Every structure is written in structure tokens, then in C-alpha cells.
Structure 1
Amino acid sequence: MKRLLGLFVLFVVVPVLVRSLNPPLNEDVLGLIVFKADIEDPEGKLASWNEDDDNPCNWVGLKCNPRSNRVVELHLDGFALNGRLGRGLLQLQFLRKLSLANNNLTGNLSPNNARFENLRVVDLSGNGFHGMIPDDFFRQCGSLRVISLANNKISGKIPESLSSCSSLAAVNLSSNQFSGSLPSGIWSLTGLRSLDLSDNILEGEIAPEVKGMNNLRAVNLGKNRFSGQIPDGIGSCLLLRSVDLSENSFSGNVPATMKKLSLCSTINLRRNLFEGEVPEWIGGMEGLEILDLSGNRFSGPIPSSFGNLQKLKVLNLSGNGLTGSLAESIVPSQNLSAMDLGHGSLTGVLPAWILKLGSQNVLPSDIKRSSLSTTVGKALANLQVLDLSHNAFSGEISPDIGILSSLQVLNLCKNSFVGAIPESIGDLKALVFLDLSENQLNGSIPETLGGDVSLKELRLEKNLLEGAVPNSVGNCSSLVTLDVSENRLTGSIPAELSQLINLQIVDLSTNNLSGALPKQLANLPNLLLFNISHNNLQGELPAGGFFNTISPSSVAGNPSLCGSIVKRSCPGVLPKPIVLNPNSSSDAGSPSLPTTLGHKRIILSISALIAIGAAAVILVGVVAITVINLHVRSSANRPEAAITFSGGDDFSHSPTTDANSGKLVMFSGEPDFSTGAHALLNKDCELGRGGFGAVYQTVLRDGHPVAIKKLTVSSLVKSQEEFEREVKKLGKVRHQNLVALEGYYWTPSLQLLIYEFVSGGSLYKQLHEGLGGNILSWNERFNIILGTAKSLAHLHQMNIIHYNIKSSNVLIDSSGEPKVGDFGLARLLPMLDRYVLSSKIQSALGYMAPEFACKTVKITEKCDVYGFGVLVLEVVTGKRPVEYMEDDVVVLCDMVRRELEEGQVEECIDGRLQRNFPLEEAIPVVKLGLICTSQVPSNRPDMAEVVNILELIRCPSEGQEELG
């Protein structure tokens, strides 16, 4: 019996105890560890996630049910997580809320990595998810109440299955690339309270079924391509508080049924095609706080009923065809904090309620230009922006304006204001933007302006101002733009301007300024424009910095200015002539005496001697280059060495040591050519000729095409050992926008570089020779610029300078992606600098940074930045860097800079582009190109910074919508 009891304990009880002491791994722990394994956690935010824990309830970002210890919420917002969304989260069977917003997660969304049976809230916004969402993505979503996929890169149609999520209360799919029409059943989601589909490419009309959405509080369809009329049924959504249909193509009249929306506080119909008069019934919507009807085709007067909107905070009617005057009866509510009446046809004297300013805050019609927020305040002290520009208002600027201590933007341009600029304007310590241009203001520029230390942009052009530019302007240490052109200003240019190191644009043209330019102006590091044309200035232009390359048009109309730019010698600095006696002896110690009998005296200036010396140097250079070319040709005419192939592992050596044999190394794959080495000399296989050799196409045995560059500068190539070492380094450089180096061939007299073959031809041919008969679109051009920038940033990160960036070295693959070639040749050619400056100068003309011409200046990555800047201007304008006219030579950088100075930069953009390309992208790209071509290397940005700037131009960051 005891024996049987012992066996029972051994084989039954003990295993049970062991299993109880070592329970199986918790399903939530397992799922979360699998999820963590699929992603990267660069900041270590998930360090507390330990697979040895019994449950994950103490891990960061989690919330568990206190009874079951099962995970019910996962919050990892802003954890900087990278990678793809794996299947691990499918293990979390009791998960109710999933929030992974504002990370760097990528990949496609599919039912394999998302399950909605029990989920109520899903927030994947602010990531990099892309591709199309399959139709059955929302096939099981019975409990789902909130879904946000905003701020990703998702494309395709919105899945029809979304309409089956009957419990949905909030949908946010904004800021993606969704296209097509809306799912037909989306208006059947009667429980929906918030719908945000803004900033996509959606199109079509709004279905009449919208009337059935009785719980809808907010709808945002802005920034799409919707068209047609707003259906009358929208007036039956009585709980609506916010309606945003801005930046679409809606047309017709605003439906009168909307007056039933008594709870509505926001109506935004900006930038559509609405027409007719502004509805009088809007004045009866007493709950309105924000009304934006700007950028439409409304006409007629401003309704007098607007005086009834006593809760109104923001009123924007700019950019319409409104006429008449502002009636005294349209007294705004005391809550009004933003009003924009700009770009209209309003006339008459301003009513007292504007002249006295009261508590109004006026929103600028182009707020992007000032990059300021429009914080609204209920008190006078909170007024930040006042914009009444582009109308026909008259009268004087009230001296009371000085009490607006928080004012940041004051824009009264293009009206008919008269009188003097109030001295009290100097009390506006927070002022950033001041534009009083194109009025009839007179008197002098107030000295008190020097008190506006935050001022970045000062525009007073096209008025009747007199007197001097005040010295106190030098106290405006933040100033970036100063324009006082086309006035009646006198006196000298204050030297204090040289203290304003942030200055980029200065326009003092068409005045009566006199005196000499302060020499210290040459120290301004960020100047892009300095226009002093049509004044009475005199003396020599400052030397150095921006003034070395200032456009002649910027200094024209000053008869007493001198210097090389105006082609006028300065008095008092002419070189003394050197008198040479042709009969003098060669004795160095004997002075030359002028002869008076039988010989003419020869007088040569220093400049003439320099010219003679330069000619002698050029002659010597031509002789040297001729010798080099003869040497190269003689080498090329020798019989080609036999090619022996070396196989096996990477960087393998040729098995022969015969002096006539070559060494071929392929970094991967079979090192053999199906056509043999003779194909390299076959003219039919030639793709083109560049600065350092001819390029041929051939095919490997496996059918893989390659491009072969035959270097024709053998005398400049390093030894075989150094050549191979540098080539192997370049062979390891890999980037989607770089032409891959796949191998090389070496003999003492012949060196070949083997590259991947890119089928689309060069950027030069596509821009200037119409390759394929197609004109590059703006989107294609932007992608080429961005891809090229990324490739150069990658090279610079690896301490490789390209040295020879130009459009013929940028190839386009079959998908339109740019691939930069010929990088790093300086590693192979130790005499590159001298070689380029002599025989290769023509091929790189226009792309070369000015420091190439100075042997004492170190060549850095900033040379590539300069060449890239020229390339940017070439891509945007469609013009060559240097174009030779019949009697003139046009340098692209100078031409674009001149157009910018004259305010006509849009005229530079390639006329072959369709007119609907985005100017808000094109003009910043042009300005970036000019900054990259700064004469001073330190003023050029790094390529990594260039990439960031381009990505901001294409994808400006926007505020994240909150889930409601």
C-alpha cells in the first residue's frame, strides 16, 4: 500500500505541483513581446517590458483590468517607435483601446495586423503607413467607436466596409492620399458625431442622405476635390456645431436650410466657387463664432444683419467681390477678435468702430507669409494682427495704434491712407511684420521705429515719404526684409544697417539717397538682394561678400558709383603707368631711362601686364594639355590588354600575373561579359562621353545589363593598389538615388568602372532635349530634386565629395527616380582639381563653386551644395546653367537672382509646365536654390538640412486633430 501511495505521489501529485509552479507564458505577455520584436525602440521607452514577468500590467504604456489582469488599453503615443505593425497585438484578446499615434511605424494596413472585434478606440495617426486599405479591413468592427488613421500616407479608396461599423462615433482619415468618391453607405452611420476626411484627394458630390445624420456634431471635408452644391439636407443635422467644406470646388448658393443650425458655431466655406450675395440670413445664426467665406465669388455689400452676431469672434470675407462701404450700423460684437476684409473692393472712409480700433483683431488674408498664429483675445491688449490691406480705404492712421502692445502684424498696404506714420508705432514692441506700402503716406520715417526690436519685415515702399532712413533702424536686430523703395528719401545710407546680420532683402531703390555706401555692409552674411538703383549714391561699392556678385541692375542709375560691377573706374585708385625703355640694358641694377630720340615711349599699365602674364600662363597650359592628350591618345592606340576573369568571392584577384593581362573584379555575381572586351571599343555600344571617359553598354552572361566607364585619364590615376582600395570603398556605397558601382577592371594602361545600367537617360536630356517627347511635370521635378539631395546627403555622411554634380550626371530610372552617378572620382584622380580647372572647365561650367578657382581655399562638401543649387534652378526653370546668346552670356544664378530682386521670380519657372503647378512649392524651392549658390561657403546649408527643408516644403506639418 505504501509503495502504491509513493508511486501516486511521484507520478500524479508532483507533475501537478510542477505545472502550478511554472504556469504557461501569459498570452498578453507573449503577444506584446512578439509586437516588440517586430519594431525598433531607439529611445528605450519599452525597457520595462520583460518576458519573464507573469503579467504585463506594470509595463509602461499599458492598462489592465484589475480583476482579470488582462490588457485592456495600450497607449504608446510619441514613443519614436520604428518598424512595421506585426501580428503580436492579435494576441491581446481583451484589448479595448489601441493608440500608437505619432510614431514612425510603416507598412501596409491589413486584417493580418489589425482586428476590431473587441476594439472600441483605434488611433494610428501620425505614422508612415502607406498603400491601399483592403475592402474587408473593417469586416469585424461591431464595437468600434473611434477610428483615426490621420496623417499617414494611405492611398486608394476608403473601404466600403467602413459603412458596416454601425457603432462609429468618430472617424478621422484626414491628411492622407485617399481618392475617389465617398463610400455610399457612410451617410448611413446615424450614430456618427465627428467626421474628418480633410486633406485628401476625394471627389464627387455630397449625397442627399446627409440629412439622416441626426447626431453629427462636426464635419470636415476641407482640402479635397468635392464639387456640386451643398445638399439642402445639411440643414436637418440640427446638432451640427462645426461645418468645414473649405478648399474644394463646391458651387452655387449656400443653402438657406443652414439657418436652422442654431447650435452651429463654425462655418468655413473658404476657397470654393460659391456665388451670389452673402446671405442676409446668416445674421440670424446667433451662435456663430467663426465665419469664413473668403476666396469665393460673393458680391454685393456686407449684410447689415452681421451686427446681430454678438458671439462672433472671427469674420473672414476676404478675396471676394464685395462692394460698398462699411456701414456704421455694422458694429461688431465685443467678442470679435479676428476680421479680414482684405483683397476686396470696399471703399469709403473707415467707420469710427475701426478707426478707434476698439477690441478688434484683424486676421491677415495671407497668414502664411507671416507665419504667425492668430491668437484671439477679448481685450485690446491681446490684439496681435491687424490687416486691412488691398482695399480703397482712406483717412489717416490713428495715433492710438500705439496702445496695441501685443500687435505682431500690421498690414495696411494698397489703400489710400494719407498723413504721417504715427510716432506711436515705435511703442509696438512685439511687432514682427509692418506693411504700409502703396499708400499716400508722407512725412518722415519715425525714429521711434528703432524700438520695434522684434521687427522682421518692414515695407514702406511706394509712398511719399521724405527725409533720411533713420539710424535707429539699426536697433531692429531681427530685421530680415527692409523695403523703402519708390519714395522721396534723402541723405545717406546709415552704417548701422551693417549691424543687422539677419538681413536678406534690402530695397532702397528709386529715392534721392546720396553719399557713399558704408564699407561694413560687405560683412552682412545672409544678403540675397541689395537694390540701391536710381539714387544719387557715389564712390566705390563695398568689396567682398554679396557685393562681389551683386547684379548690375541693383546698382544702375547711380552715375557717381564706381567699380567693376558698374564698369566705371574709381578716381584716385588708377595704377601709375610703368615706363619701359626698349633700348635699356638687361642689367637688373641699371634703371630704365626714357628715350627721346628715334624711339617711341612704351607705357604699359599693371592690368596690361597682368593680361600678358595670364596669356602666357594660358599658352603654357594649352601646351601642357596638348602633351597630356597626345599621351592619352598614344595609350589608347596601343593594343588593348587581354582580359582575364577572376571569379569566386568578392574582391578576388586575377590568377595571372602577365603584364598584358587585366584584372576584372565584380562585387557580386558572375564576373564575365557575354560580348567580350572588344564590345567596349564598339562605337555602336557607346552611350555617351563625359569629362573623364566614354561610357558603353554591355550585358553580363546572365542577361544583366551594365554600363562601363572607360577612364581616359590614365596619367592621373593612382597606383593599382590605391586605385583598388578606393574603388572598393565606392563599391560599398549603396543608396536608392545613387548609381551603384558593381565592379572594375584594371591594367596599367586601361581602367574600367562597371556601373548598374540606368535606362531612362540623363536629366540633362529630359530637360533640354525632350527625351521621349515628354515634359517633366512639377511633381516629377520635385521628386528629382529631393532624390538628388538625399543622395548627396548620403555621400556626405560617408565623407565622400561628389565634385562633379550636374544634370548630365543625374540619370532617371524607369520609375522616374533620380540616380546620381560619377561620384567620388576624386578618390581615384589625385590631380582632379588642377585637371578640372584646365581641360574640364567647360563640362562643369556654371556648376562650379567659386572656391574651385582659389587654390588656397579647401574644397569641401559645400562645393557639392553649390552645384546642387545650380541644378535646382536648372530643373525649375528648364534653362541651362549658362546660355550663350548672339551677343550676350546669361548665367542662370544671376538671372534668377535678378528676377527675385524685381519681384518677378514666377517668370523664371519653366513655361512648359502647366499653370496649375503649386507656386507655394515652386517659389521656396527657387529660393533654396539661390541660398545653396551663396558665394560664401559657410552660408550654404548642409545637404542634410536641404533634405529637411525640401520635405517641409512638400509636407508642411499640421496640427494633430484631437479625437472627440
Structure 2
Amino acid sequence: MLLNLFAFLLLASATAVQSLDQTFNDDVLGLIVFKAGLQDPNAKLQSWTEDDNDPCNWVGVKCDPTTNRVSQLVLDGFSLSGHVGRSLLRLQFLQTLSLSNNNFTGPINPDLTHLGGLQVIDLSGNSLSGSIPDDFFAQCGSLKSVSFARNNLTGQIPDSLSKCSTLVDINFSSNQISGRLPSGIWFLRSLQTLDLSNNLLEGEIPQGIGYLYNLRGISLAKNRFSGRVPGDVGSCSQLKWLDLSENYFSESLPESMRWLGSCSSISFRGNSFTGVVPDWIGELTSLESLDLSGNKFSGWIPFSIGNLQRLRDLNLSKNQFSGGLPESMMNCSSLLTVDVSQNLLAGNVPSWMFGMGLKSASLSGKKLTGSTVTSSVDSMVASYQGLQVLDLSSNALSGGIPSSIGVLSSLVYLNMSRNRLFGSIPASVGELKSTEDIDLSYNLLSGSIPLGIGGAVSLKELRLQGNFLSGKIPTQIVNCSSLTSLILSQNNLTGPIPAVIANLSNLQYVDLSLNELTGSLPKELTNLSHLLFFNVSYNHLHGELPLGGFFNTIPASSVSGNPALCGSVVKRSCPSVHPKPIVLNPNSSGSIGNSSSDHHRKIVLSISALIAIAAAALIAIGVVAITVLNIHVRSSMSRAAAALTLSGGEDFSCSPTNDPNYGKLVMFSGDADFVAGAQALLNKESEIGRGGFGVVYQASLQDGRSVAIKKLTVSGMIKSQEEFEREVKRLGKIRHHNLVALEGYYWTPSLHLLICEFVPGGSLYNHLHDGPGQNSLSWRQRFNVILGMAKGLAHLHRMNIIHYNLKSTNVLIDGSGEPKVADFGLARLLPTLDRCILSSKIQSALGYMAPEFACKTVKITEKCDVYGFGVLVLEVVTGRKPVEYMEDDVVVLCDMVRGALEDGRMEECVDGRLMGNFPAEEAIPVIKLGLICASQVPSNRPDMEEVVNILELVQCSPDSQEELE
């Protein structure tokens, strides 16, 4: 405090101080006052003292040797916090101000550009808030570089930016800046780099970019830009990198791009570009990286791509390319990574691809045929040494796996699943010392698992399910000490489960189901502390189930189909307390049998009594807990309601303290005034629904739009206002025609409202389960709902948003029959993703929750959404709820459909209200896709982009669709 007081007294009486000591100049005074307003937890500025009249030797300070005045202040990464105050204006000779990667808060000081000699401002990586001052660039002197990246800035890009003609580099990336791009930005003729990525900017890019003849690089990625790419972009002849990824750009590539001969990197990933990739792409001979993935490009991959001899990384995945890979690509001598997965390519795997020294080759999800690359491996061993990723999955490849595959010494990821490979797994697979993931599932492989598998010491995931493998599980697998997933289901494996598996301490997922395994389950398996899933169903195992650890809560379905197993999980008492089961002699006397039976009956009765007592105690505790919780919720809701009780004439943002600034109403776009007034918003008459997060009301805005208002009932668990607003604004960026748009929010400490797009058609649940039979959805409507949901979820996952709460009540149907997924990402508003909260509040609808939600240590990923989507698919196709309670039974939809699949009764699963009016060739693959998505093992579930592609592939032709309307 004394230092702060002293510093500010110095500032107020600078003239008097200087008269006493002429060497105590403005630079020292400005820096000392600046330091006084900071927190310096690591004492980085310890050398800054008011007793030193020469700041040129202070940490982070540099002086001009001619004038001996401070010219540079560079304090990057010092963990400083505070405000960038006016005291720095005393540094009249300052040229560089760099305070990046600290914890500075507050708004941007609008007077910084008054330092006429300032050339560089770098405030990136802080927590600055507010908008960029409107006149910040009006008199920017000689400013050349400005970076406000990675802050919390809002508002729009100021028009004054166009007046700062000296600017060379601009970086406003990773903020929450909104609005349109000002057309005056193209007046900055000296501009060389422009990075506005990861913001909320929208609209079309104005014409005029072609005037920036000095432009070297531009990134507008991760915004909401739409329309066409400006036709004059090709006039930026000096452009080195161009990134427009993850926006809403559409139509074809502009012809002028053919003049970007100096460009080395182009990324248009994740947009909606259409048409063919033009032949002139081969004229961009400086290209080193080309990413056109996640668009709607069609036609053949142009032959001219072979002219790109500097090309290192090529990603054309997730499009609609057809034909084969052009032979000319063998001329791309610098190529290291190729990803053409999830297209419509056909033909043979090109042998030349494996002679180019590639590090990554992904050709999955296509219709490639022919034999594998056996001959190529033997003849091009040297070229294979650098290969790290090889993905040939989901094609129609035949033949055997090359016996010399072990030469791929650098291979990290190998995936040849879902092909027609036959023969045995070569012993040389054990020579893959660096490989972490091997997936050979769903082929026609036979023979035994090679003993040498233990040589693959880096292996983390081994998936061999869905083949014809026989023999025993090799004990040598214990050498794969990093193994987390061991999936060997749906084979013909025999013998016991090796006890050494218990030594694989990192195991999380084990699936040995649908084999011919015998013996008992090793008791040591209870030592696997990270185990999340263990399935040995439909084998010939016997004896007592292990007790302890994961096996105390193992689902009955994971051990079903083994009649000789006993234990509480399978509801069969074991015949003895001895470690090994007693085999009774069928010729023994009846009296012994009766005595044993009586003994067992007593044991069952005593266990039943204990269970009944425990259940009664749990019910009593539950009743008390629910009563207390209801009292707390009612109290919270009454306080929240009081916060919104308004008298006539008061506005929506008033608070319980009568402070008009207490409540905060924010609309992302459009009108913020309600027709009925705030006091009528949360009336019972306006209520249209309830969910795990709260009650939903309908309201009308002054501009004529109807909106849905969700009053959150989890307010006691909501984050702070700052974190809440940051998450809500992030969700507000999400725009897709299959997602319900978040329009705004209202905040007080006791009341939180989300303002969303109103969808008039009701929920999917209503259409499937509440409507009259004669008005049920047709097959075509159901398929479109499934496809629309998939597209909406795929977009969410592309934006790194997990839904967490997918169910039929959270899928709304608009007036044209299009589905809109609602309530996505709301779990992020809670302070932590607590499993209890997720189970009771969010995943309130039984049957949609992925099994990993029950495990406290598992990471919640997009695969949890995929599971819920799979259940939704089955619900839409069958018209049945995920879990149905009958008079004497409980029917789980996934189990019912899976049983029908095994019995060949798939068509019987389709909703009877369709009366056979559906295409079996479309319905059956959709049902199978739903089962795959609802797999118990997350790694077996496809991602949503793959789901969309599969649905589009199985969709019937328009002619057959018309017949079913």
C-alpha cells in the first residue's frame, strides 16, 4: 500500500519531483506507477525500483542507445495481472509494447495509440474484455502490428481500423467479436497478415480483397461467414496461406484462385463448397498443404493434382469424390500424408502409393477393391520404413495380410477392418514395436492369434472381433503392458481365459463374448482397477464369478449365455463355498441331493432376507433425501420467481434489490423487447414443456418472432456469471438447420433464462408416442428425421460440443418436418461434469445413457452422444420407447432388437403402424447402424460424420422414395 501511495503521489507531483532530481525522468515515473497497479506473484519486476534513475537495465525493458529512452517493454509470460493503465503514456519514445500471455483484465486502453512512435502492440493471451474502442485506430501514428488474440473481447471490429494505413499485421483471433467484416479493411494497402479466426463474425466477405497486393496470409477460420469466396482473392498474388475452414461458405471455388501461384497452404475444411475441384488446382505449384475435407465436392479427383510436387499434406476426406486416385499422384514426390477417406472412390488400392515414403495413408470408408498390398511390401521395404498411419478400413479388399508386415517399423496405427481379408494373422505382427493400435476386425481371418503378438510392446488397442479365429488366447499378450482395449469377440476362440490378463493393469475394455471359451473366470481379474467394460457372454464358462472391484457391479448381460456360471449377478447360487465347484454324481442317493437342496434353500432365503432389509433401508434413505431436495428446490424456485416479479412499467432487467442493472438481458441478434412484457413471460399459461434442465415457456418478441424461454432449475449448480456467459455465447455461435438456435440469455444470481428459437411442430417423442396411430410418421419422414439428427450432431461434434442429453423429447420437429436437436451442451453450464448430476438431472430419460456414464474415471466423449443417437434410431424405426415396463417384465429396446437380429427377425422390429410400407433394403441397414452406434464399447461406435455418410449411402433412390410417400 505504501508503494502504491508513493507511486501515485509521484505521478500527481511530477513537476516538483523532477525539479528536485532532473535524472528522474518520465520513463522511470511511468514504469513505477505501472508496476504499482500490478500483481507480480513471481516477483519478475523486482529490479524495478524508484531508487534507480536508469530503467534501461530493468527486466523486460530496452532503451534506444541514442536517446537512452525506453523503446521496448516486453513482459510476455510474466504471470502479471491488473490493468493496462494510462501511466504507460509517459513512455513517449516507446515503440514496442508486448504484454502477451499474462492475466491482464479490463478493457483495452483507448489512449495507447496516442503514443505516436508506437509500432507494435501485443496484448494477446490475456483476459481483456469489452469491445475494441471505436476510435482506437483513428490516430494510430506509425502502428504496424497489433494483436489482441486469445482474450474475451466482444463487440464489432471498429470502422476506424480502415484509417490505420501503416498496419502490416492484425490478429484479433480467439475472441467473441461479432458482426460483419467492415469493407474498409481492404483499404489497408500495407497489410501482410490478417487473423480473425475463432470469433463470431458473420455474413459475406465484401469484395475488394484483391487490392491487398502485399497480403501474405489470411485466416477467417471458425466463424460464421457465408456465401461465396470473393472472386478477386486471386489478385493477392503474394498470398502464402489462406484458411477459411469451419464456416458456411458455399458454391464453387473462384476461378481467380488459379493465380495464387505463391500460396503454400490452403484450408477450406468444414464448409459447404460444391462442384468439382477444377483442373487449375495443379497450377498452384507452391502448395505444401491442401485441405478440402468436410465439404460437398464431387466428381473425380483432378489428374492435374500430380503437378503439385511440393505437396506434403493432402486431405480430401468427407466429400463425395468418385472414381479412383489418379496415377499422376505418384509425381507428388514430397507427399507425406494422404487422407481420402469417406468418399465414394472405387477401384483398386494403388500400389504406387506405398512407394512414396508416406507417413500416413487413410483410405477408409470407400469401395476400394482388389488384393492387399502384399507384393508391394516385399518389393518396396525401404519406402515403407517411415509409414506411421495405414487405414484401409471399410472397403472390399481381399487377399491375405502380408507376411512381411513387420517391416513397417514406424507404424503407429494399423486399421484394415471391415474388408474381406482371409488367411491367418502373420507372426511378424509381433515385430511392430511402435504400433499402438491394431484393428483387423470384421474380416474373414482364420487360424490362431500368433504367439508373437507379445512382441508388439507398445500396443494399446487390439481389435480382432468378427473373424473366424480359433485356438487359445496366447499368454504372451501379457507383454503388451500398455494395453487398454482387448476386443476378441465373435470368433471361435477356445480354452480358458489366461490369468495373466490380470497383469495388464491398464485394461479398460475387454470383450471376449461369442466365442467357445471354457474354464472359470480368474479371480485375479478383480485387480484390474481401471476396468470399465468386461464382456464374456455366450461362451462355456463355469464356476463362481469373481467378487470385488468392477465385478461387484458387472451387468448381467456381460456374463449371460454361460449357464454354468454362478453368483448374485446371474441369480444362481453356487453349489459350495469351496473355491472349485462340486460336481455331483448323478447316481448318488436322493437323500444327499435333498439335504443339499434344503441347505441351498436356506442360503437363498437368508440372502433374500438380507437383500430385502438392505432395499428397505435404501428406500427409506431415498425418501428422506428426495423430501429434503424438494424443499430446497421449491425454496430456490420461489426465490427465483421473486426475482422476476415485476410491477407495471418496470423492465425485464430489474432485480430483487430494485437495482435496474441487477439483471442482464442479452440477445445475440434482433429485438430484445417482448410483446407481452416481462411480467407475463413465466406465466403458467405460457408453459410448453419441462425437462431435466428446467421449464420451457413460449413468448413473442416485438419483431414478430416467437421464442422459447427455458428457465434453468439447476441454478444452484450454475457457474459464475462470467463463466456462464462465456459458455452461453459459445453455444450461441452454433448455427445449423438441424439444431435449435440459442438467441440470447437473461442472468441474475438467482434466475437464469435461455432464449431459444421456437420450433412449432412439437417433439419427436410426441410424434412417436403421443399422436394418434393414423397420423404417425411415414417411413420417409422417419428416415429424414434420423438423417437430420445425425447431421446436427455431426456439426456439434465438429465444433467440439458434446450434447450430453440426447433423447426424443430433446428433438423438435419444425413445420416442414425437419428435426432440430435442442438442449445441446447445457451440461457445460455446470461447474463440473459430475456423474451424479449427469445421471439424475441431465440423463433423466432411462435408456439413452451410455454405459461409461456409470464409471467415475471414464472420459466423457462424443461417443456418448453416438450411443444416445443409436438408441434414438431404434426408437424412431420401431416406434417403441428405450425401456418399456410390462406387467411381469422390463423390455430394453436395444436388447430386443439385437435378439431379433440374431434370430433373423429384423423386419418384425419396424413400427407396425407402417403396415409394411417401408423399403427393407433401407430399413434393415438403418437398424443395424443403430445397434452399432449403441455398442457397449465406445471405440466400436462410429463418429457422427461416418454415420451421416452411411445414411446417405443406404438412402434409397428418389424413385423408390416417391413410392413410399
TM-score for the superposition, normalised by structure 2: 0.62
Counterpart position of 1:605: 602
- Out of 825, 830, 836, the residue aligned to residue 870 of structure 1 is 836
Which structure has more helix as a fraction of its residues? 2
Deviation at residue 769 of structure 1 after TM alignment: 8.6
Distance 1:73 1:606, change over 3 A: same
Counterpart position of 2:518: 514
1:428-467 → structure 2 map (5 Å cutoff): 428-467=432-471
- Mapped to 2, the partners of 1:867 and 1:139 lie a distance apart of 46
Counterpart position of 2:9: none
- Mapped to 2, the partners of 1:219 and 1:901 lie a distance apart of 32
Deviation at residue 400 of structure 1 after TM alignment: 4.5
Deviation at residue 770 of structure 1 after TM alignment: 4.5
Asked if residue 557 in structure 1 is aligned to residue 539 in structure 2, the reply is no
Larger Rg: 1
- Out of 857, 866, 869, the residue aligned to residue 906 of structure 1 is 866
Secondary structure of the 1:546 match is helix
Letter of the 1:127 counterpart = N
Secondary structure of the 1:547 match is helix
Asked if residue 504 in structure 1 is aligned to residue 508 in structure 2, the reply is yes
Asked if residue 351 in structure 1 is aligned to residue 350 in structure 2, the reply is yes
- Mapped to 1, the partners of 2:333 and 2:497 lie a distance apart of 45
Distance 1:881 1:483, change over 3 A: closer
- Out of 409, 431, 437, the residue aligned to residue 413 of structure 2 is 409
Counterpart position of 2:61: 62
1:150-229 → structure 2 map (5 Å cutoff): 150-229=149-228
Assess if the C-alpha contact under 8 Å between 1:275 and 1:297 holds in 2. yes
Deviation at residue 787 of structure 1 after TM alignment: 6.0
Distance 1:78 1:619, change over 3 A: closer
Where structure 1 has 5 or more consecutive residues not aligned to the other structure, the ranges are 1-15, 367-377, 576-593, 595-600, 630-686, 707-735, 737-758, 792-810, 818-863, 884-889, 913-964
- Mapped to 1, the partners of 2:335 and 2:637 lie a distance apart of 73
- Mapped to 2, the partners of 1:112 and 1:779 lie a distance apart of 42
Asked if residue 481 in structure 1 is aligned to residue 479 in structure 2, the reply is no
Letter of the 2:251 counterpart = G
- Mapped to 1, the partners of 2:35 and 2:260 lie a distance apart of 48
Secondary structure of the 1:538 match is strand
- Out of 814, 825, 828, the residue aligned to residue 751 of structure 2 is 814
- Mapped to 2, the partners of 1:124 and 1:80 lie a distance apart of 13
- Mapped to 1, the partners of 2:283 and 2:35 lie a distance apart of 56
Counterpart position of 2:923: none
- Mapped to 1, the partners of 2:854 and 2:346 lie a distance apart of 42
Secondary structure of the 1:773 match is strand
1:310-349 → structure 2 map (5 Å cutoff): 310-349=309-348
- Mapped to 2, the partners of 1:252 and 1:305 lie a distance apart of 21
Counterpart position of 1:285: 284
- Mapped to 1, the partners of 2:125 and 2:683 lie a distance apart of 35
Secondary structure of the 2:448 match is coil
Assess if the C-alpha contact under 8 Å between 2:304 and 2:328 holds in 1. no
Counterpart position of 1:424: 428
Letter of the 1:608 counterpart = L
- Mapped to 2, the partners of 1:18 and 1:895 lie a distance apart of 67
Assess if the C-alpha contact under 8 Å between 2:694 and 2:713 holds in 1. no
Counterpart position of 2:30: 31
Tell me the C-alpha RMSD between the 2 structures: 4.7
- Mapped to 2, the partners of 1:569 and 1:520 lie a distance apart of 21
Distance 1:358 1:571, change over 3 A: farther
Counterpart position of 1:709: none
Query: What is the percentage of aligned positions where both structures have the same residue?
Result: 46
Asked if residue 296 in structure 1 is aligned to residue 314 in structure 2, the reply is no
Secondary structure of the 2:55 match is coil
Q: Deviations over 1:141-176 (max 9, x none)?
A: 131111111111212211222221111111111111
Distance 1:689 1:403, change over 3 A: closer
Assess if the C-alpha contact under 8 Å between 2:692 and 2:843 holds in 1. no
Deviation at residue 307 of structure 1 after TM alignment: 2.0
Assess if the C-alpha contact under 8 Å between 2:319 and 2:342 holds in 1. yes
Secondary structure of the 2:342 match is coil
Q: Deviations over 1:187-210 (max 9, x none)?
A: 121211111111112111122211
Deviation at residue 54 of structure 1 after TM alignment: 0.4
Q: Deviations over 1:337-387 (max 9, x none)?
A: 111121122223212213x45401226699xxxxxxxxxxx9754433233
- Mapped to 2, the partners of 1:768 and 1:469 lie a distance apart of 46
- Mapped to 2, the partners of 1:474 and 1:486 lie a distance apart of 22
Counterpart position of 2:476: 472
- Mapped to 1, the partners of 2:862 and 2:552 lie a distance apart of 19
Secondary structure of the 1:336 match is coil
Assess if the C-alpha contact under 8 Å between 1:267 and 1:290 holds in 2. yes
TM-score for the superposition, normalised by structure 1: 0.62
Assess if the C-alpha contact under 8 Å between 2:74 and 2:98 holds in 1. yes
Distance 1:92 1:620, change over 3 A: closer
Deviation at residue 433 of structure 1 after TM alignment: 2.6
Counterpart position of 2:961: none
Secondary structure of the 2:178 match is strand
Assess if the C-alpha contact under 8 Å between 2:131 and 2:156 holds in 1. yes
Deviation at residue 570 of structure 1 after TM alignment: 2.1
1:250-289 → structure 2 map (5 Å cutoff): 250-289=249-288
Deviation at residue 300 of structure 1 after TM alignment: 2.2
Secondary structure of the 2:146 match is strand
Distance 1:437 1:93, change over 3 A: farther
Assess if the C-alpha contact under 8 Å between 1:343 and 1:390 holds in 2. no
- Mapped to 2, the partners of 1:566 and 1:404 lie a distance apart of 46
- Out of 490, 494, 504, the residue aligned to residue 494 of structure 2 is 490
Distance 1:909 1:903, change over 3 A: closer
Counterpart position of 1:534: 538
Deviation at residue 616 of structure 1 after TM alignment: 8.5
- Mapped to 1, the partners of 2:628 and 2:521 lie a distance apart of 49
Deviation at residue 499 of structure 1 after TM alignment: 1.5
Distance 1:410 1:696, change over 3 A: closer
Deviation at residue 239 of structure 1 after TM alignment: 0.8
Deviation at residue 546 of structure 1 after TM alignment: 0.8
Q: Deviations over 1:418-451 (max 9, x none)?
A: 4433333322322223333334433333333322
Deviation at residue 282 of structure 1 after TM alignment: 1.2
Tell me whether 345-354 or 229-238 shows the greater mean CA deviation: 345-354
- Mapped to 2, the partners of 1:168 and 1:522 lie a distance apart of 65
Distance 1:100 1:613, change over 3 A: closer
Letter of the 2:602 counterpart = S
Deviation at residue 224 of structure 1 after TM alignment: 1.2
Secondary structure of the 1:437 match is coil
Distance 1:447 1:151, change over 3 A: farther
- Mapped to 2, the partners of 1:902 and 1:493 lie a distance apart of 32
Secondary structure of the 2:82 match is strand
Asked if residue 105 in structure 1 is aligned to residue 87 in structure 2, the reply is no
Assess if the C-alpha contact under 8 Å between 1:346 and 1:392 holds in 2. no
Deviation at residue 549 of structure 1 after TM alignment: 0.6
- Mapped to 2, the partners of 1:882 and 1:325 lie a distance apart of 40
- Mapped to 2, the partners of 1:335 and 1:447 lie a distance apart of 38
Secondary structure of the 2:442 match is coil
Assess if the C-alpha contact under 8 Å between 1:316 and 1:363 holds in 2. no
- Mapped to 1, the partners of 2:19 and 2:510 lie a distance apart of 81
Counterpart position of 1:854: none
1:659-678 → structure 2 map (5 Å cutoff): none
Q: Deviations over 1:389-436 (max 9, x none)?
A: 444444444444433322222233344444433333322322223333
Secondary structure of the 1:94 match is coil
Distance 1:767 1:387, change over 3 A: same
Secondary structure of the 1:166 match is coil
Assess if the C-alpha contact under 8 Å between 1:149 and 1:173 holds in 2. yes
- Mapped to 2, the partners of 1:55 and 1:150 lie a distance apart of 33
Assess if the C-alpha contact under 8 Å between 1:456 and 1:480 holds in 2. yes
